[in-house]
Chain A
Amino acid sequence: EPEVTQTPSHQVTQMGQEVILRCVPISNHLYFYWYRQILGQKVEFLVSFYNNEISEKSEIFDDQFSVERPDGSNFTLKIRSTKLEDSAMYFCASRGKDRSSYNEQFFGPGTRLTVL
Protein backbone atom coordinates (compact mmCIF):
# COMPACT_ATOMS: atom_id res chain seq x y z
CA GLU A 1 0.00 0.00 0.00
CA PRO A 2 1.44 3.41 -0.92
CA GLU A 3 2.37 5.63 1.97
CA VAL A 4 3.69 9.06 2.81
CA THR A 5 7.23 9.03 4.14
CA GLN A 6 9.01 11.68 6.18
CA THR A 7 12.63 12.28 7.10
CA PRO A 8 14.19 12.61 9.53
CA SER A 9 12.07 10.93 12.17
CA HIS A 10 13.65 13.12 14.84
CA GLN A 11 15.49 16.41 14.44
CA VAL A 12 17.23 18.23 17.27
CA THR A 13 18.37 21.77 16.61
CA GLN A 14 19.51 24.89 18.39
CA MET A 15 17.29 27.92 18.61
CA GLY A 16 17.85 30.23 15.66
CA GLN A 17 18.99 27.49 13.32
CA GLU A 18 17.30 26.60 10.06
CA VAL A 19 15.70 23.20 9.62
CA ILE A 20 14.28 21.46 6.61
CA LEU A 21 11.75 18.72 7.07
CA ARG A 22 11.28 16.41 4.14
CA CYS A 23 8.32 14.49 2.89
CA VAL A 24 7.66 12.18 -0.01
CA PRO A 25 3.91 12.19 -0.71
CA ILE A 26 2.08 9.36 -2.42
CA SER A 27 3.17 9.43 -6.03
CA ASN A 28 -0.08 10.26 -7.85
CA HIS A 29 -1.35 12.73 -5.28
CA LEU A 30 -1.72 16.37 -6.19
CA TYR A 31 -2.50 18.11 -2.89
CA PHE A 32 0.00 18.41 -0.08
CA TYR A 33 -0.22 19.60 3.48
CA TRP A 34 1.81 20.23 6.60
CA TYR A 35 0.36 19.97 10.07
CA ARG A 36 1.96 20.12 13.46
CA GLN A 37 1.10 18.77 16.88
CA ILE A 38 2.66 20.15 20.01
CA LEU A 39 2.94 17.46 22.67
CA GLY A 40 -0.45 16.85 24.29
CA GLN A 41 -2.27 19.29 22.03
CA LYS A 42 -4.40 19.25 18.89
CA VAL A 43 -3.21 18.59 15.39
CA GLU A 44 -2.94 22.04 13.77
CA PHE A 45 -3.03 22.90 10.09
CA LEU A 46 -0.05 24.86 8.78
CA VAL A 47 -0.27 25.02 5.00
CA SER A 48 -1.74 23.42 1.90
CA PHE A 49 -0.01 23.28 -1.47
CA TYR A 50 -1.37 22.58 -4.93
CA ASN A 51 -0.15 23.18 -8.44
CA ASN A 52 3.19 24.47 -7.16
CA GLU A 53 1.77 27.15 -4.97
CA ILE A 54 0.35 27.65 -1.51
CA SER A 55 -3.44 27.26 -1.47
CA GLU A 56 -4.02 28.21 2.13
CA LYS A 57 -1.95 28.87 5.22
CA SER A 58 -2.73 29.32 8.87
CA GLU A 59 -1.67 32.10 11.21
CA ILE A 60 1.07 29.82 12.50
CA PHE A 61 2.66 29.75 9.05
CA ASP A 62 4.45 33.08 9.27
CA ASP A 63 7.48 34.41 7.38
CA GLN A 64 9.77 31.97 9.15
CA PHE A 65 8.09 29.09 7.35
CA SER A 66 8.26 28.13 3.71
CA VAL A 67 7.35 25.12 1.61
CA GLU A 68 8.74 23.83 -1.61
CA ARG A 69 8.31 21.00 -4.03
CA PRO A 70 11.83 20.97 -5.47
CA ASP A 71 11.28 17.99 -7.74
CA GLY A 72 8.50 15.63 -8.70
CA SER A 73 8.60 13.66 -5.49
CA ASN A 74 9.73 15.69 -2.48
CA PHE A 75 7.77 18.24 -0.48
CA THR A 76 9.70 20.21 2.12
CA LEU A 77 8.95 22.48 5.05
CA LYS A 78 11.65 24.95 6.01
CA ILE A 79 11.77 26.83 9.26
CA ARG A 80 14.24 29.65 8.80
CA SER A 81 15.09 30.52 12.38
CA THR A 82 13.70 28.04 14.87
CA LYS A 83 12.18 29.06 18.18
CA LEU A 84 11.64 27.00 21.29
CA GLU A 85 7.90 27.02 20.60
CA ASP A 86 8.46 25.33 17.23
CA SER A 87 9.16 22.09 19.08
CA ALA A 88 6.43 19.73 17.92
CA MET A 89 5.62 16.74 15.76
CA TYR A 90 5.32 17.82 12.14
CA PHE A 91 3.12 15.76 9.86
CA CYS A 92 3.06 15.85 6.10
CA ALA A 93 -0.10 14.71 4.33
CA SER A 94 -1.25 14.27 0.77
CA ARG A 95 -4.43 13.44 -1.04
CA GLY A 96 -5.56 12.53 -4.51
CA LYS A 97 -7.96 14.37 -6.77
CA ASP A 98 -10.79 11.90 -6.43
CA ARG A 99 -13.83 13.90 -5.38
CA SER A 100 -15.33 11.01 -3.44
CA SER A 101 -12.40 10.93 -1.04
CA TYR A 102 -11.98 14.63 -0.62
CA ASN A 103 -11.43 14.61 3.11
CA GLU A 104 -9.19 11.55 3.01
CA GLN A 105 -5.71 12.79 3.59
CA PHE A 106 -2.86 10.35 4.01
CA PHE A 107 -0.51 11.33 6.79
CA GLY A 108 3.14 10.48 7.15
CA PRO A 109 4.67 9.17 10.38
CA GLY A 110 5.87 12.61 11.38
CA THR A 111 9.12 14.33 12.26
CA ARG A 112 9.65 15.17 15.89
CA LEU A 113 11.39 18.54 16.03
CA THR A 114 13.11 19.49 19.26
CA VAL A 115 14.46 23.03 19.55
CA LEU A 116 16.95 23.59 22.36
Chain B
Amino acid sequence: LAKTTQPISMDSYEGQEVNITCSHNNIATNDYITWYQQFPSQGPRFIIQGYKTKVTNEVASLFIPADRKSSTLSLPRVSLSDTAVYYCLVGDIIGLTGGGNKLTFGTGTQLKVEL
Protein backbone atom coordinates (compact mmCIF):
# COMPACT_ATOMS: atom_id res chain seq x y z
CA LEU B 1 0.00 0.00 0.00
CA ALA B 2 1.54 3.29 -1.08
CA LYS B 3 2.20 5.67 1.79
CA THR B 4 1.03 9.23 1.30
CA THR B 5 2.37 12.42 2.83
CA GLN B 6 0.49 15.71 2.80
CA PRO B 7 0.67 18.91 4.87
CA ILE B 8 -1.15 18.79 8.17
CA SER B 9 -2.80 22.15 7.63
CA MET B 10 -3.15 25.06 5.22
CA ASP B 11 -4.71 28.49 5.52
CA SER B 12 -6.21 30.53 2.72
CA TYR B 13 -8.56 33.40 2.02
CA GLU B 14 -11.79 33.48 0.11
CA GLY B 15 -11.33 33.81 -3.63
CA GLN B 16 -7.83 32.37 -3.70
CA GLU B 17 -6.73 29.21 -5.47
CA VAL B 18 -5.54 26.50 -3.11
CA ASN B 19 -3.12 23.76 -4.10
CA ILE B 20 -2.62 20.80 -1.79
CA THR B 21 0.24 18.52 -2.71
CA CYS B 22 0.48 14.88 -1.75
CA SER B 23 3.59 12.78 -2.16
CA HIS B 24 3.38 9.05 -2.80
CA ASN B 25 6.87 7.94 -3.75
CA ASN B 26 6.14 4.22 -3.83
CA ILE B 27 3.00 4.36 -5.92
CA ALA B 28 2.43 1.15 -7.87
CA THR B 29 1.63 0.81 -11.55
CA ASN B 30 -2.00 -0.11 -10.89
CA ASP B 31 -2.62 2.60 -8.30
CA TYR B 32 -5.03 5.46 -8.80
CA ILE B 33 -4.95 8.71 -6.83
CA THR B 34 -8.17 9.76 -5.17
CA TRP B 35 -9.06 12.80 -3.07
CA TYR B 36 -11.80 13.01 -0.50
CA GLN B 37 -13.16 15.94 1.51
CA GLN B 38 -14.59 15.71 5.02
CA PHE B 39 -16.53 18.34 6.93
CA PRO B 40 -16.79 18.05 10.74
CA SER B 41 -19.20 15.32 11.86
CA GLN B 42 -19.90 14.24 8.28
CA GLY B 43 -18.79 11.34 6.14
CA PRO B 44 -15.98 11.79 3.63
CA ARG B 45 -17.03 12.88 0.17
CA PHE B 46 -15.31 11.90 -3.07
CA ILE B 47 -13.83 14.86 -4.92
CA ILE B 48 -11.74 13.60 -7.80
CA GLN B 49 -9.67 10.68 -9.03
CA GLY B 50 -6.91 10.34 -11.58
CA TYR B 51 -4.16 8.11 -12.91
CA LYS B 52 -1.87 10.50 -14.77
CA THR B 53 -1.66 14.01 -16.27
CA LYS B 54 -4.61 16.23 -15.42
CA VAL B 55 -8.19 15.60 -14.45
CA THR B 56 -10.77 18.34 -13.98
CA ASN B 57 -14.34 18.28 -12.78
CA GLU B 58 -16.79 20.89 -11.57
CA VAL B 59 -15.19 21.00 -8.12
CA ALA B 60 -11.43 20.66 -8.55
CA SER B 61 -8.47 19.78 -10.72
CA LEU B 62 -5.94 17.07 -10.10
CA PHE B 63 -2.43 17.38 -11.49
CA ILE B 64 -0.26 14.29 -11.68
CA PRO B 65 3.29 14.53 -13.06
CA ALA B 66 4.73 11.89 -15.36
CA ASP B 67 6.54 10.02 -12.56
CA ARG B 68 3.30 9.91 -10.51
CA LYS B 69 5.25 10.24 -7.27
CA SER B 70 3.15 13.21 -6.23
CA SER B 71 -0.14 14.83 -7.05
CA THR B 72 -1.70 18.23 -6.48
CA LEU B 73 -5.32 18.94 -5.75
CA SER B 74 -6.26 22.41 -6.97
CA LEU B 75 -9.34 24.18 -5.64
CA PRO B 76 -10.16 27.31 -7.64
CA ARG B 77 -11.46 30.38 -5.80
CA VAL B 78 -12.14 28.82 -2.42
CA SER B 79 -14.91 30.01 -0.16
CA LEU B 80 -15.55 29.64 3.56
CA SER B 81 -17.52 26.48 2.85
CA ASP B 82 -14.39 24.79 1.53
CA THR B 83 -13.00 24.66 5.06
CA ALA B 84 -12.59 20.94 5.59
CA VAL B 85 -10.09 18.11 5.82
CA TYR B 86 -8.78 16.88 2.46
CA TYR B 87 -7.47 13.36 2.12
CA CYS B 88 -5.18 11.98 -0.56
CA LEU B 89 -5.58 8.22 -1.06
CA VAL B 90 -3.64 5.89 -3.31
CA GLY B 91 -4.94 2.47 -4.21
CA ASP B 92 -5.30 0.01 -7.01
CA ILE B 93 -8.27 -0.84 -9.13
CA ILE B 94 -9.10 -4.48 -8.51
CA GLY B 95 -11.16 -6.75 -10.62
CA LEU B 96 -14.89 -6.46 -10.77
CA THR B 97 -15.24 -9.55 -8.65
CA GLY B 98 -13.86 -9.54 -5.15
CA GLY B 99 -15.62 -6.50 -3.83
CA GLY B 100 -12.93 -5.26 -1.48
CA ASN B 101 -11.21 -2.02 -2.36
CA LYS B 102 -11.19 -0.57 1.12
CA LEU B 103 -10.14 3.04 1.46
CA THR B 104 -7.20 3.79 3.73
CA PHE B 105 -7.33 7.30 5.09
CA GLY B 106 -4.39 9.21 6.52
CA THR B 107 -4.61 12.26 8.71
CA GLY B 108 -5.35 14.56 5.77
CA THR B 109 -4.83 18.29 5.33
CA GLN B 110 -6.98 20.64 7.37
CA LEU B 111 -7.78 23.56 5.08
CA LYS B 112 -9.02 26.69 6.77
CA VAL B 113 -10.49 29.43 4.60
CA GLU B 114 -10.97 32.89 6.07
CA LEU B 115 -12.56 36.09 4.85
B99–A43 CB distance below 8 A: no
Asked if A49 is at the interface (CB within 8 A of a chain B CB), the reply is yes
Q: Report the Cα distance A63→B98, complex, angstroms.
A: 22
Q: Please indicate the chain B residues that have their CB under 8 angstroms from the CB of A93 in the complex.
A: 43, 103
Of the candidate stretches B9-17, B72-80, B89-97, the one touching chain A is: B89-97
Minimum CB distance partner of B108 in chain A? A42
Instruction: Provide the main secondary structure of the chain B interface.
Output: loop
Is A33 interfacial (CB 8 A cutoff)? yes
Is residue A75 within 8 Å, beta carbon to beta carbon, of the partner chain?
A: no
Interface size class of B (residues with CB under 8 A): 20 to 34
Query: Contact between B99 and A102 (Cβ–Cβ < 8 Å)?
Result: no
Chief secondary structure at chain A's binding surface: strand
Cβ–Cβ contact B41 & A43, under 8 A = no
The 9 A-B residue pairs with the shortest CB-CB distance in the complex, in nearest-first order: A50-B99, A107-B43, A55-B99, A43-B105, A103-B34, A45-B102, A56-B100, A104-B46, A55-B100
Give 15 A-B pairs besides A45-B103, A103-B93, A107-B44 with Cβ atoms closer than 8 angstroms.
A43-B38, A43-B87, A44-B105, A45-B104, A48-B101, A55-B100, A58-B102, A89-B41, A99-B96, A101-B49, A102-B93, A102-B94, A104-B34, A104-B49, A109-B43
Q: Residues of A at under 8 Å CB distance from B? A: 4, 30-31, 33, 35, 42-45, 48-51, 55-56, 58, 89, 91, 93, 95, 97, 99, 101-110, 112
